[in-house]
Structure 1
Amino acid sequence: MNAKPFASGLSENAVVITRVADRQWHALDDDLVVGRGHAEHRPDGRLFVSIDAWHDAAFDRLAEVMPAQLPAPLYTVVDEADAELTAGWRRAGFTVRRREWEYVVPTDPQVTGLEAVLPPSGVTIVPAGRADEGLLRAVDRAIREEVEASVGWQSMPAEVIPRPEGDTIVDPSKYAVAAGTQGYLGLIRVVRAKRPRIGLVAVRAGEQRRGIARALLAHALETLHRSGCAAAWTEVNESNQPASALFEGVGARPMSSNLELVR
């Protein structure tokens, strides 16, 4: 445990920053917790930090102590509409790395215009839960390697689903795939928690611009529509123009934006 007192002005007593666990910190004011900090590795290996504090002084001190005890670089994500929180991280030396838009996506084929969309010749869509797990993991690895070799996987939407170390497929039942004669060519992941979320749509580099991604999206949205879901949600990196065009082309609307900051 690490404790560092400082004069905060929150009370007559010094506020103490205490490391209560490997990646958890508390800000204490006269034994009252007035702030909490947390750090965690995301599935892509990057270290993200978060702070929940009652006062700016507690936030600023946590944002000073935590980076000093953690390896760089550090990342955090904030709602762009939360100007106060964004300002706090900027005071701590974090800068904007990228913007990610959250879209709401209609599922009704008559609204999306996808009712007549079929996969290209020689390609079939294998519904979620029916994909061969070995082939699914193989295409996932291949796509990740292709993305990493070009724009870098960090340009993809931040993945927050917990997974075992080194495993990028948490639950194979969440994936529908596009199958060709030589194996799987692309995949789409839909997670149904509080609301259905399209976490990933990706196609092998040599198979792009054939309409496979659009066919995968048509299948996933129609499946959600039949189950009674009127809309789904997804996140798209502002710089990912093909993904933005794919979703906006089916009537998706941006609802909010998150900023990823780095120090």
Structure 2
Amino acid sequence: MDSVHYTPAERAVVITRVAELHWHALEDDRVVGRGEASPRPDGRIFLSIDAWHDVVFERLAEAMLPALPRPLYTVVDEEDVELTSQWRRAGFATRRREWEYLVPTDPRTTGLGAVLPPPGVTIVPVGEADDGLLRELDRVIRDEVEATVGWQEMPAEVVPRPDGVTVLDPSKYAAAVEAGHYVGYVRLAQVIRQPRIGLIAVRDGVRRRGIARALLAEALGSLHRNGTGTASAEVNEANGAALALFDRVGARRAGSNLELVVR
């Protein structure tokens, strides 16, 4: 356990590394700030700092950054200007932006009520996908993504796991089938009290045929039939196709998150 003492004019702060990836800031034996480093399965390390005062945040960052391998990442709500500024003062810069969408589920609003999959493709409803075929497709799509943009470009919640198990609950998926093979899927996730469109993915070679749109129609339709009026989704600002897909169904941008990095 390492401790570093700081004495700003208005307070004395002690930064203590209480575990390998955890730090505490103490003032008069009270915890006034916490810092944590969280390794992701894709190898990246994300930081979080919860501090009562700017000076405590700065002291925690000063203690944590030299003790950890670069690059280091964090995610902030772009509307939280104060927190974003604190990370920028610590040397972090914007790596990417993810738009937070609120997506209506009513087909009369989305225009998806009459949407059909392309010829030769059928949609397996949410909760009816075959476990084995779904996992096989998941491995293929993840290999395709890793061979191109890499999983560092995927949302933070969509990461490979060390044991290779990535489909944790097949009942949350709908799938697209062509010639007996799964070629795309959509995943629903329950985040707090609102469902989230966690991921829409279609295999290379069969994209731009309307499969993603048909999968989205199934996912939103299933939520609407269950009485859910709105879902959420996060879309990378650089993913023009996904942005266009959600904009076309009447989704509303409700905010944005920034992924910051220091190298």
TM-score range, shorter chain: over 0.9
64, 76, 92: which is aligned to 2:74?
76
Question: What is the 5 A alignment of 1:1-263?
Answer: 1-11=1-11, 14-159=12-157, 165-193=163-191, 194-263=193-262
Q: Which runs of 5+ in 2 are unaligned?
A: none
For 1:256, give the aligned amino acid. Answer: G
Over aligned residues, Cα RMSD in angstroms? 1.7
Deviation at 1:23, TM superposition (A): 1.6
Deviation at 1:182, TM superposition (A): 4.0
TM-score by length of 1: 0.94
Deviation at 1:129, TM superposition (A): 2.5
Deviation at 1:40, TM superposition (A): 1.1
SS in 1 for 2:257: strand
1:86-142 deviations in whole A, cap 9, x for unaligned? 111111111110111000000000100000011112211112332222211111111
Q: Which runs of 5+ in 1 are unaligned?
A: none
| Ranges of 4+ aligned residues in structure 1 off by more than 3 Å | 160-166
SS in 2 for 1:207: coil
Q: Distance in 1 between matches of 2:173 and 2:102?
A: 20
Query: Matched residues, percent identical?
Result: 65
SS in 2 for 1:205: coil
Q: Distance in 1 between matches of 2:9 and 2:133?
A: 60
Q: Distance in 1 between matches of 2:69 and 2:166?
A: 24
Note closer, same or farther for the CA distance 1:162–1:207 as it changes in structure 2 (3 Å cut).
closer
Q: Distance in 2 between matches of 1:187 and 1:8?
A: 54
Note closer, same or farther for the CA distance 1:64–1:165 as it changes in structure 2 (3 Å cut).
farther
Contact 1:39-1:49 at 8 Å conserved across structures:
yes
SS in 1 for 2:205: helix
SS in 1 for 2:109: helix
Contact 1:25-1:37 at 8 Å conserved across structures:
yes
Contact 2:42-2:159 at 8 Å conserved across structures:
no
Contact 1:185-1:203 at 8 Å conserved across structures:
yes
Deviation at 1:160, TM superposition (A): 6.5
Number of aligned residue pairs: give it. 261
